[in-house]
Each structure stands twice: as structure tokens, then as C-alpha cells.
Amino acid sequence: MRWCSTPRLPLLLFLAFLLLIGRSSGKSPGFKICAFNTLGLNAAKAANSRVTHTLTRIVSRCDITLLQEVKDSGGSAVRALEAALNRYSDRYDQYHYQSVSSAALGNDPKDMQQYVFIYRTETVNVTAQHQYRKPQSFVREPFAVRFRSNKTATKDFVLVALHTVPEKAVQEIDRLYDVFQEVSKKWNTQNVMFLGDFNAGCAHMTRANKRQIRLFSQPGFFWLIGDKVDTTVGDGTNCPYDRIVVYGEPFLKTIKPYSAKAFNFPKEFRLQRERALKVSDHLPVEVELNSSAHLCQATPLLLLLLCVIAQSCLSAL
């Protein structure tokens, strides 16, 4: 075999090694989950083309985005955002977006809010949803949605949305433990992630308050957004209001290390503070799940092929 001649063998093996390195170091696209307090998203706000454009850029970065403080009982604002996302994706990323929403929640008829999950239909599916209902527990009861994705190492997982009332933040965050018990039993899974504007910082939740919160005192809960992360837009605040919490080491191990963070959209999009505040006074928070290990599964096969080639060449010499 001429291509197995002695002078060419080192070159062949070197090229194969470069191929292996290139395959193993190539970046697989991550699966991003985001949460964003939209500061009263309604039909009038969605009609502002600049606001909708910025929201579209934010949401289109994520496979799933939880929107909070949506005041859109008629659904027109969410439909407008979905239409903008799908127009945007036709031009850039080819994804199609759909949404699933809670009912309007709250005690004040003038301040009824929805939780809305917007997701890419090509990468994830909704398999179930559950509205937590327990009198006197929450002002805006958590909304749980079960997702399934073939793109992630963890195929089946539950996202639980919560936007606390500031003066009741400690009590409501503590009661997420009860929500965890209910949804994990209901769906027989412990792959549960809590996310949203918990008001979990500054005066609303202090270090001393953590003793009263079971998501801190009970083992197994991991807070991915730390106490020193600023999730606000305003210059006068530096508070970790928005959080992401996961349960269990198995789920935690499928999360990309150090991927949990706040996305500084004013800085990234070069928006003046005044324009950014028209979108929200919060920053989105996000985290990435590891992709399915197709590449890792292929690597041993590639190594085996290289060994076969090398052995064949050596035998032919």
C-alpha cells in the first residue's frame, strides 16, 4: 500500500491526530435556559418596536426563556413577541418559537401577572404543565412546566417559575420546598429547576434570613446565581434579585460549569440606560445544560479507526 510507506506513515498519523483534536475540541452548541422579568409586558409595551426588538434579541439567545410580570390576559403581547421571534429566526437562526402560559395570578385585579415560557420547538417539547395551588402560600403561585429535549444530557426536566412579592420573599422562597415535593412526586422526577425574580437579595432577603429558607437548609439544593451577582439595570442598585436553583447532584452535573450568570443586555447591545429601562430594570439570568454527548460517543470510534489504520500500515511495511 503506497500510502502506508514509511515516510508517509508519520504524516498520516499526525494528520489523524489533528483530526481527532479538532473533533474533540469543537464546541457543541449548548442548551440555554433563561429567565427575565419583563417589567409589565402588555399590549402597549409590545407595540413599541424598539422594546420588542430588544426583547427579541434577548429571547432568541435561549432555548427556553421564562418571562415574568407579563400582564397580557388577552395574549396579544405574547403573540406579537412570538411573531417577531419567528420573523427574526427566519432571517438568522431558523428556529421556530412557541409559548406556554400560566393563568393571570395575583390578589390585585390591577396587578395580575402571568408566567410565560417561550421555547424553540426544534430543541425542546412541553410534555406537561402544573399550576401550584395552595391558599395563603403565594401571591403569584409557582407555575411548573415539564420539558423534554433530545439535545441535552438530561432529557427530562421540570422548570418552576416564581416571581415573589418583595415583602413576602423569604416566606415564598421557603415554600418552594413544598412545591418541589409536589411536582417531584407528581411527575416522578427530581430534575427540578427553580427560576425567576425571587427578590432574593438586599433588604428583601438577608444572610440571616437564609436560616428560615429550606432551599438553603435542606441538602440537595444548589443556588447557581450567587449573592454577589447584580441582576439589576439601575446604577443605584446592586442586588441578586433573580435566581436559578437546581436540585440534586445528578442534575447539577449536567449543567455547564460557570455558565450561570446575568446577561448584561444594555452593555452587550450598547443601549443607553434610559432605553434599557424601557425594556426592564432587571437583567436576564441564564444557565446552560450540556448537550447530548454525540461527539464523545464518536470519539472512541475515531480512535479505533486510527488504530486499525496504523496497524494495517505497520503490517504492510
All domains of the chain in start order, with CATH: 29-295 (3.60.10.10)
The amino acid that residue 218 corresponds to is: Q
> Which grid cell sits at 223?
443556588
- pLDDT tens by residue, 90-113: 776 789 999 999 999 999 999 999
Predicted confidence pLDDT, tens digits, the chain (317 residues): 444 555 555 544 444 444 444 433 344 468 999 999 999 999 999 999 999 999 999 999 999 999 999 999 899 999 999 999 999 877 767 899 999 999 999 999 999 999 999 999 999 999 999 999 997 899 999 999 999 999 999 999 999 999 999 999 999 999 999 999 999 999 999 999 999 999 999 999 999 999 999 999 999 999 999 999 999 998 888 999 999 999 999 999 999 999 999 999 999 999 999 999 999 999 999 999 998 754 344 444 444 444 445 455 545 55
Rounded to whole angstroms, how far apart are CA atoms 259 and 243?
13
Describe the crossing of helices 294-316 and 8-25 by its angle, rounded to 10 degrees.
180
The Cα-based distances of 15 to 19, 147, 297, 299, 306 in angstroms read 6, 42, 21, 16, 10
Whole-number Å distance between alpha carbons of 297 and 166: 47
Q: Write down the pLDDT at residue 21.
A: 41
Q: How far apart are alpha carbons 120 and 307 in whole angstroms? A: 41
CA distances for 13 relative to 16, 34, 84, angstroms: 5, 44, 50
The alpha-helical segments, DSSP class H, found in the chain are 8-25, 43-46, 49-59, 76-91, 169-174, 176-187, 214-217, 249-252, 265-268, 273-279, 294-316
Say what the pTM is.
Answer: 0.84
